[in-house]
Structure 1
Amino acid sequence: MKPLKIACYAVIMFMTSSCLETQTSPTLEEISSIAFDIKTEATALINPWSVAELPNGDFLITERGGRLIRVSQGKPVALSGLPDDILVAGQGGLLDIVLAPDFTETSEIYFSYAYGQIEANGTALAKAKLSSTNIEDVEVIFRANPPKSAPQHFGSRIAFLPDDTIILTLGEGFALREDAQKPNTHLGKLIRLNRDGSAPINNPFIESPEYKAEIYSLGHRNVQGLVFDKATGVLWSHEHGPRGGDELNIIRPGENYGWPIVTKGTDYNGARITPFEEKEGMVEPVYYWVPSIAPSGLAIYRGDMFPEWQGDAIIGGLASRDLRLVNLKGGQAVNEIDLLSDLDKRIRDVRIAKDGSLLVLTDDDENGQLLRVSAK
């Protein structure tokens, strides 16, 4: 059955195969902002990229221009101590931030950023200790290699797995799409690291000398959503397609997600990138969007405030200027809802707060905001 041009759904068969069955999409349901209580937690942010909630209720917010903001009781303070090699150009700058699983004991944070120069750059991952006014003991534990030639497609999302290893997403550099399939480069890959930056000895390609030891999966374009769902043990990601073909995926070690050999999208000039929308040996997305919504930020809802959303994916839309909820039941995407359909703001990140509300970060050159979306 062929999908409509709004979106596409798939069934994941959690057996020895990853057979997928596409379905026709329903009409997109919309829920406007008046259905929720929306509180502004921070404002006047300049191109904010990521948010992390601290145990005491404060927030850490990265700004792509190279500032790390701590928001305490509505008051923002810029923290000192960031690396001095952050490249602010194109899509690059200070990017994702997460707390270490043992943050309450260690005060350790992990953040990603663009390093290098405009003509030779990449994604770096660093760790540091957080204090009230600065970060200390900064250590860069990974730099993607080789450098790419344009300041675009950095990936940069971070997630911890239950074994205390780290997954970092890395874009293919836009102009280097074929590198997503090459084993000797980090570009277009998801990588898995120990907390000191070394490659775990059980990484899927660790015994293949032609592969970078850090590679966890390959064939990615620009992954800007990543979350590990503790309730199901599933690692989810989403990534930007070209002109259409944004994808929601379940990530498994050693798998090839196809870019640029397969895609549901076309090039920006309308030309075909490849004759293949699917190919044996390459993972089909659980869900995809045509036209593109330019997804950024991803959460799997696990909270008490919205019980009807349990286990559903919540995704920020940059191009669609809204928040999308993909209803997941038994491994199948059965519905999509346009949340905050009247907000009309680029949404860069979304997280689930401790109280079960949504933390939504809007992207703007002058007045980005951190919004808390709660049930009425």
Structure 2
Amino acid sequence: MRNSIVYLCLIAVSLNLSCAQNTTNQVNTPKETPFTTELLVSGLQIPWGMSFLPDGSMLITEKSGELIHFKNGSKTEVSNVPEVYQRGQGGLLDVALHPDYKNNGWLYLTYASSDGEEKGGHTALMRAKLQNNTLVEKEVLYKASPNTTKGQHFGSRIEFDNEGYLYFSIGERGARDENPQDIKRDGGKIYRLFDDGGVPEDNPFVGTNGAKTAIYSYGHRNPQGMAKHPETGAIWDNEHGPQGGDEINVIKKGANYGWPVITYGINYSGTPITDKTEMPGMEQPLHYWVPSIAPSGMAFVTTDNYGDWKGSILVGSLKFQYLERLVLEGNKVVSREKVLADEGRVRDVKEGPDGLIYVAVEGKGIFKLIPKS
């Protein structure tokens, strides 16, 4: 019965009809918001990722390949940034700081890289240090292979857990029938490494013949949001489905998230991908969107600065150009709210060390959400 309802829902989406399977498919617009906005950093095109330095300044990645240091109201382009493979969705992607950055100075970047024998590119992870607005001591910790000239689904986000393990995501690179279900191939995976790029011995596929041992979970499509739950410490992701079927998942060791064997989405042409939304041995999403919102950056709200927002999730929508707030009860989404509507394609969102929310919007820059008194 559930599959039938979902199938009818997806048909409705393909015909541009309204469909609401349950209350969480309704997104509400609040009568008033608990903030005003300030455009803090202007003149950005596709600000993919951002991270705050201990002195309160900010590192911002531009997909075109620039790493920007924003400090005291001024933007400075960081030099010696890795060369990026610019094609389609590929470019300079996420930036994150080591949890002990104050002492060791390591920062981490994901980017599309053409390194390798094959033409094209694939997602890479690098660490480096920032010295006088120049990257030094650069080390490539992981480079997915093989390269491909396809322009879609590079991922990619970076997150650290409470034990200091580094997680990063790579999309399935447009090869849905080859990559996401095969642990011997890169793509459509979330990876887990030590901070220096080493593979933990308790990773789920260590000792499996031919497996990519950095893999922590698989069966993903294109994860473009990742955040650590502030109470449980679990790593959550959001990822793009096709037409319908964007997901939020709680990442578990060795788990298979099903793509493309199971999905709540359909092809962009309106034809079905599969009639299955669940199968034994495959994880169900914590939440899925029909229709797709094209989710990007994701952040948990831990501050009391925005009324009743504490404990909810913020997710950027590229497709509908707003910031979405999802209200949680445990691991269940109970309501959705559209905030920062019609501002533009929201690429990333972060809660800063000052307890304020920062939102990266394509074609504009970084907005700061200032709480109303």
- TM-score normalised by structure 1 residue count: 0.90
Contact 1:155 1:171 in 2 (8 A): yes
1:254 maps to 254
Q: Matches of 2:236 and 2:350 in 1, distance apart?
A: 14
Offset at residue 271 of structure 1 (A): 1.0
Contact 2:111 2:125 in 1 (8 A): yes
Offset at residue 176 of structure 1 (A): 4.1
1:96 maps to 94
SS at match of 2:299: strand
1:1-376 matches, cutoff 5 A: 23-25=22-24, 27-31=26-30, 35-84=34-83, 86-116=84-114, 119-343=119-343, 345-364=344-363, 368-376=364-372
Offset at residue 175 of structure 1 (A): 3.5
SS at match of 1:253: coil
Contact 2:230 2:300 in 1 (8 A): no
Offset at residue 136 of structure 1 (A): 1.1
Unaligned runs of 5+ in 2: 11-20
Deviates more, 1:173-182 or 1:233-242: 173-182
Q: Matches of 1:79 and 1:36 in 2, distance apart?
A: 32
Unaligned runs of 5+ in 1: 7-21
1:17 maps to none
Q: Matches of 2:362 and 2:200 in 1, distance apart?
A: 35
SS at match of 2:145: coil
Q: Matches of 1:354 and 1:162 in 2, distance apart?
A: 17
Cα gap change, 1:89/1:149 in structure 2, threshold over 3 Å: closer, same or farther? closer
Contact 1:229 1:236 in 2 (8 A): yes
Contact 1:221 1:239 in 2 (8 A): yes
Aligned residue type for 2:334: V
Cα gap change, 1:201/1:50 in structure 2, threshold over 3 Å: closer, same or farther? same
Q: Matches of 2:275 and 2:356 in 1, distance apart?
A: 43
Figure out how many residues of one structure are paired with residues of the other and give that number. Answer: 356
Cα gap change, 1:169/1:112 in structure 2, threshold over 3 Å: closer, same or farther? same
Q: Matches of 1:369 and 1:104 in 2, distance apart?
A: 27
Q: Matches of 1:27 and 1:267 in 2, distance apart?
A: 22
Q: Matches of 1:32 and 1:247 in 2, distance apart?
A: 27
Offset at residue 195 of structure 1 (A): 1.6
Aligned residue type for 1:198: G
Offset at residue 232 of structure 1 (A): 1.6
Q: Which is richer in strand?
A: 1
Contact 2:324 2:336 in 1 (8 A): yes
After TM superposition, the runs of 4+ consecutive aligned structure 1 residues lying more than 6 A away are none
